[in-house]
Amino acid sequence: MISATVIGHVGQAAIEERGGYSVLRFSVASNRKIKGEQITTWVDCTLLGKRAEGLAPHLQKGARVAVTGELWVKEHEGKRYVKLDVANVELIGRPEPSERRERPASE
């Protein structure tokens, strides 16, 4: 098992019910500079159960997070995908107002 912490911004998040339990899937973009060029690595994160239900409303696009869990790489059709089975999520910043999702006006 490889344990890792990824710090970055949430790209998208979705929660679904599967077999009687909640599954929260979200992506995190982590940026670094190599020889002056910014490189973005997307990490696909998965969290299960009641914690997934409680966290889902807080994972707005653009929110800054620190995510810790078990890291693994999946290969499919010649491409590599970085995955993280989440153990802990810390919200460390909110998205800028221009990046927040618009909410419909309540009646």
Residue ranges for the chain with pLDDT beneath 70: 94-107
Cα–Cα distance for residue pair 33/10, rounded to 1 Å: 19
| pLDDT value at residue 69 | 97
Q: What is the pLDDT of residue 8?
A: 95
Please give the pLDDT value at position 103.
Answer: 42
Portion of the chain with pLDDT greater than 90, in percent: 63
Instruction: Look at residue 79 in the predicted model and tell me its pLDDT.
Output: 84
Rounded to the nearest 10°, the torsion over CA 76, 45, 23, 63 is -140
